[in-house]
Amino acid sequence: MRKIIIAGASSHSGKTLTACGLLASLRKRGLNVIAFKTGPDYIDTEYLRRAGCCASYNLDMWLMSEENTRRLFTEYSSGHDIAVIEGAMGLFDGGINSTASIARLLDAPVLLVINVRSMGESAAAVALGFREFDSGINMAGVILNFTGSDYHSEIISSALNDKGIKFLGALKRDESLKIPERHLGLMSAGENSKFDIESLRKKFESSINVDDILKLSENESVKTFRPCEKFIPSKKYSVRVAVARDEAFTFIYPESMNTLERFGAEIIPFSPLNNSELPFADGYIFCGGYPEIFAERLADNVPMLESVRNCRKPFLAECGGMMYLCRNLSGVDGRKYDMAGVIPFESYMSERAVMGYMTARALRDNIICKRGDVVRGHEFHYSRVEPEYYGDTCAFELTRRNTQQSHYGGYVNGNILASYLHVNFYGNERLAENFLKLLTSSKG
């Protein structure tokens, strides 16, 4: 199957814009496309999904292991004409889960996107350095971003050609194509009404050699990819799982929900913003998102807050979902708003981000694992909760992957587990099954 990775020389190179333009162009040609994003990012996957009118999944060797990452790609790309994979940060950033590592794992050619604002022929030196840094990476070509004029792109493309580096086109500076950012990265696709896919496609096709990209994606130098067997559960669970999904709660992995469905669960979406009560279900998942942006609307929906407060079914809450279950939260406007009060915390916004991969050791039994079990996840948030240490209800000892520094976090009490930890059930099927087993037993 054809595949191509859109990598950057650094963050803010324009990877998402380039990947979206390519997906829209390939779809216009009638190709059955599928999209992937390396790393734990929730926001970019939605842009890719919209641009390609296709499914979009995450590839993350920390969250789901190397073998399971390979399995996910094999399983979900099967039957498609081409897979477009957007990298994270710079090509070699991120250690074992770098875009380069994913490229090696998938035997995929790489297109390097370089932000050439305030740069001339030096961009060719950057590209050459990336090509020579790791000969195990098939760096198939270069796309320039933020060029100021045709002459600007010509002098860089000439320097690239002199070094034997394939030039695939250049995108000019264009404020109409810029994707706005906020404190957790790009503004979510659902909120960005100015994201014009058709306009992006036309400008992409007029500037980038899509035919050459297609040829590179099926280059014979790319080795045959070894397929993996699909995970088949040994037991099914007839349960209903309601999942918070609206503008405020968007951070959830489709492959994670697919794993629950594979075990037999029926997934029911609901909206804390717009619905007046919880739907009937055996358990509830409050995923992450931007409750701080929609704090006033969430607080004004008193019937839903009361429904959550009075529910005695199992709750699994991650990050923004935990904030919603707190007594109150401080919105981005600085005001304090009453929330569900299911857990005895207050949440507030901070200027410093907490981000990174975590190893979480369970301090006590909870709805997805047993005391002493080790779970891999990641955190990415600007909010904090008080109190920071919760005594007998503290859920995890968390250790950062990069620094090995540890701290305590999360809340567990009966059928409630809430923390800043994001977990992907794909490749961690035991956690999904533990959750569904508990819902099955709670039904009785």
Count CB atoms within 10 A of the CB of residue 92: 16
Alpha-carbon gap, residue 379 to 421, rounded angstroms: 5
Q: In what side-by-side order are the strands of the sheet with 167-172?
A: 56-59, 33-38, 82-86, 2-8, 110-115, 139-147, 167-172
pLDDT computed for residue 175 by the predictor:
77
pLDDT computed for residue 354 by the predictor:
81
pLDDT computed for residue 386 by the predictor:
87
315 forms beta bridges with 284, 416
319 labelled catalytic:
yes
pLDDT computed for residue 233 by the predictor:
86
Whether residue 184 has pLDDT greater than 60: no
Task: Answer with the residue of higher pLDDT: 239 or 219.
Answer: 239
Domains, the chain, ordered by start:
2-217 (3.40.50.300), 240-443 (3.40.50.880)
Q: 124-141: string of b/e by CB count within 10 Å (b at 16+)?
A: bebbbebbeeeeebbbbb
The chain-wide mean pLDDT, for the chain, equals 92
Residue range 280-286: mean pLDDT, rounded: 98
3-state secondary structure 284-318: EEECEECCCCCHHHHHHCHHHHHHHHHCCCCEEEE
Residue range 287-301: mean pLDDT, rounded: 96
Whether residue 222 has pLDDT greater than 70: no
Whether residue 192 has pLDDT greater than 90: no
Alpha-carbon gap, residue 177 to 14, rounded angstroms: 10
Q: What angle do CA 402, 183, 257 make, to 5 degrees?
A: 70
Provide the token pair at 273: 């913003």
Residue range 138-165: mean pLDDT, rounded: 97
Whether residue 144 has pLDDT greater than 90: yes
pLDDT band (50, 70, 90) for residue 329: very high
Choose the catalytic residue: 319, 326, 369, 394: 319
Residue range 80-108: mean pLDDT, rounded: 95
pLDDT computed for residue 187 by the predictor:
64
- Mean pLDDT is lowest, of 153-157, 302-306, 351-355, 402-406, for 351-355
Q: Which of 255, 263, 281, 262 is nearest to 425 (CA)?
A: 255
- Sequence-distant (6+) residues with CB within 8 A of 240 are 265, 266, 268, 280, 281, 282, 283
Count CB atoms within 10 A of the CB of residue 260: 24
Alpha-carbon gap, residue 107 to 121, rounded angstroms: 30
Q: Which helix (H) or strand (E) holds 105?
A: helix 99-106
Q: What angle do CA 41, 19, 27 make, to 5 degrees?
A: 120
Alpha-carbon gap, residue 324 to 82, rounded angstroms: 39
Q: Which of 48, 16, 393, 56 is nearest to 186 (CA)?
A: 16
Distance set, CA 31 to CA 34, 83, 211, 222, 429 (Å): 10, 10, 13, 20, 32
Block residue for tokens 């195990």: 136
Q: Which of 142, 69, 80 is nearest to 109 (CA)?
A: 142
Residue-wise pLDDT tens digits, 195-212: 789 999 999 999 999 999
Alpha-carbon gap, residue 286 to 422, rounded angstroms: 11
Separation of CA 109 from chain center: 22
Count CB atoms within 10 A of the CB of residue 265: 24
In the DSSP assignment, the letter for residue 16 is H
Residue-wise pLDDT tens digits, 7-61: 999 999 999 999 999 999 999 999 999 999 999 999 999 999 999 999 999 999 9
Residue-wise pLDDT tens digits, 375-431: 999 999 888 898 766 788 999 999 999 899 999 999 999 999 999 999 999 999 999
Residue-wise pLDDT tens digits, 336-367: 999 999 999 999 988 788 889 999 999 999 99
pLDDT computed for residue 80 by the predictor:
96
